[in-house]
Structure 1
Amino acid sequence: MARTGGDEGQDPGGPEFDPPFEVLEPVALTSAVVLSSPHSGRVYPSRFLRSARLDAASLRKSEDAFVDDLFEPAVSLGLPLLRAHFPRAYLDLNREPYELDPRMFEGRLPAYVNTRSVRVAGGLGTIARVVGDSQEIYAKRMSVEEGLRRIDELHKPYHAALQELLHRALRRFGLAVLVDCHSMPSSSVTGTADPTTWRDEKTKADFVLGDRYGTSCAPLFVDVAESELRRFGYAVERNKPYAGGFITEHYGRPGAGCHALQIEINRGLYMDERAIARGPGFDALSRDLHAVVEAVSIAAASRGSERMAAE
């Protein structure tokens, strides 16, 4: 398994990001599936921790802990896995490049910044204002330059790498299937596809599959993933409460051969959420996910052959 990383440059996180993300490459590329784990980063820069009014444990509430590790064995199926090392609380890759809350910054944001999205209003923009149950992250405002630097040096390179992996799959196999890998707390959330309000009610679903209500992915791949998960006995929902964020919406272009499916995993299946530690179900779940990705990969190979033959 080969590993390639992003160009660190003058990373705002400092040398602690070394590199800020990496691609786990298979020995041989044989699948049109691309795995992305944008929220499992767990390297918290010391400067970031000093600027926060919360401790590290509180900041980690928004982290999709160990999701990259759950999916890593699937690289052996002949597909790449892209994963971030920096945490979601530092910069959220599942947002537009410039969804920013002006209340967070010292100085005027550029005119092109989206300051009015629902996600910004909820404190969950590209640079989040809150974590968990609406706890404010920062003790004081940051400079506009710092915010824009994070975007330039982290968000843009990650998405450039993801775009290249998808283009490579399209060239090689006639289509690309992005599986965007996430986790959800075992306590559910209310609201829409991007909720901001927490409640204590237990999540009934083990998995939520998001395809932007049928617009980001061919039904075939969603059906295959759901069928495999149900075969293992998991409870599966579609698009409620997570239909997919910026990544699914931005890259999902089924008509152009690029499909994007978001998978949300109930953290209670594989980890101790309070201690942020792997639980006894981790290995079994990882094996099941390997089978799910394999089934999607087989379906992609069949669809890709049909697409290339038609051309």
Structure 2
Amino acid sequence: MPEIREYELFEIREPVSQTIPFVYNSPHSGRIYPPEFIAQSRLEGISIRRSEDHYVDELFSAASLLGAPLLLANFPRAYLDVNREPYELDPRMFDGLLPPYANINSLRVAGGLGTIPRIVAENMEIYARRLPVQEGLDRVESIYIPYHAALRRLIARTHVQFGFGVLIDCHSMPGNVRVAGSNARPDFIIGDRYGTSASADLSRTAISILEEMGFTAIRNKPYAGGFITEHYGRPARGLHALQIEVNRAIYVDEGTLEKHTDFPLIVNAVTGFMRQMASYVDQFATDTALAAE
């Protein structure tokens, strides 16, 4: 695989000075598709883009203006998914044997959505043929590992500076997602791994802010948070991780990927949400529900 320099893989949009104990992360909004990847794929055009969290980096772009760093991927999720374990790999995708430390039996691998995905949304196969094992391992080494190293540095720095930290992992979800047992469509879903990755007060506050803004917001179902939320959320140590899913139907045409005319209004709403979350955390910064015990 051609060498890709780190600054081309992802961006860290830093504030002039970090003034709030938040780190924002957008791991699935990347839309720079390596030419060699396109050559390997049986998909093209909009089809290959179905797994993107469309424009989520733009929805949360005000993070640095509010005083928090924003980490965002430039590489697409279909090429490599950093919201997985580093080696959740499907042996059916590769020529050759995977190393013994690869997790080949996870539910995500079985569903085609491992660290190197086999499908994009709507169950469309990405590759026309098998990949060399070494290429898969190279993607992990050259992209996944540097990305998570950057994320860990931001979280650690925030924790040291403020005594605690809040990671907001930013995603989008398909417009056809419905609340279980009803036809209600949530505009936002807040995931905290069923209370294990963040303070319950923090999750409830996020839901309350969104509802007061007029949105439908629910907690954990059907998206409770992925590897990033689970891996970095350590509430007992003062490290909280929330996943936020934004319903794509409220800001983009999922067929054409064209932004709705009121896209700026959704950006403003998300900015307001970030501002109110920062205000809440500032007010209760010494609360043992947020700070490390």
Kept in 1: contact 2:52–2:77 (CA 8 A):
yes
| Alignment partner of 1:38 is 2:27 | yes
Kept in 1: contact 2:187–2:216 (CA 8 A):
yes
| Alignment partner of 1:291 is 2:280 | no
Distance 2:171 2:201 in 1: 21
Distance 1:310 1:62 in 2: 36
Whichever residue aligns with residue 213 of structure 2, its letter is F
| Partner in structure 1 of residue 136 of structure 2 | 147
Kept in 2: contact 1:209–1:243 (CA 8 A):
yes
1:24-46 deviation per Cα after TM superposition (whole angstroms, max 9, x unaligned): 00111101010000000000011
Structure 2: which 5+ runs fail to align? none
Q: CA deviation at 1:52?
A: 0.3
1:54-203 aligned at under 5 Å gives the runs 54-188=43-177
Kept in 2: contact 1:13–1:48 (CA 8 A):
no
| Partner in structure 1 of residue 230 of structure 2 | 249
| Partner in structure 2 of residue 221 of structure 1 | 202
Distance 2:179 2:209 in 1: 27
| Alignment partner of 1:271 is 2:252 | yes
Structure 1: which 5+ runs fail to align? 1-11, 192-200
Whichever residue aligns with residue 134 of structure 2, its letter is E
Kept in 2: contact 1:14–1:45 (CA 8 A):
no
Count of residues in Structure 1 that have an aligned counterpart in Structure 2:
291
- Aligned pair in 2 of structure 1 residues 310, 239: CA closer, same or farther (>3 Å)? closer
Distance 1:100 1:310 in 2: 35
- Aligned pair in 2 of structure 1 residues 143, 310: CA closer, same or farther (>3 Å)? closer
For residue 177 of structure 2, give the secondary structure of its aligned residue in structure 1: strand
1:77-134 deviation per Cα after TM superposition (whole angstroms, max 9, x unaligned): 1100000000000000110000000000010000000000000000000000011221
- Among candidates 212, 217, 231, match of residue 231 of structure 1: 212
TM-score (norm 1): 0.89
Kept in 1: contact 2:188–2:246 (CA 8 A):
yes
TM-score (norm 2): 0.94
Distance 1:232 1:139 in 2: 46
- Aligned pair in 2 of structure 1 residues 189, 39: CA closer, same or farther (>3 Å)? farther
Q: CA deviation at 1:202?
A: 7.2
Identical counterparts, % of pairs:
49
Distance 1:302 1:252 in 2: 21
Q: CA deviation at 1:188?
A: 2.3
Structure that is richer in strand per residue: 1
| Alignment partner of 1:209 is 2:190 | yes
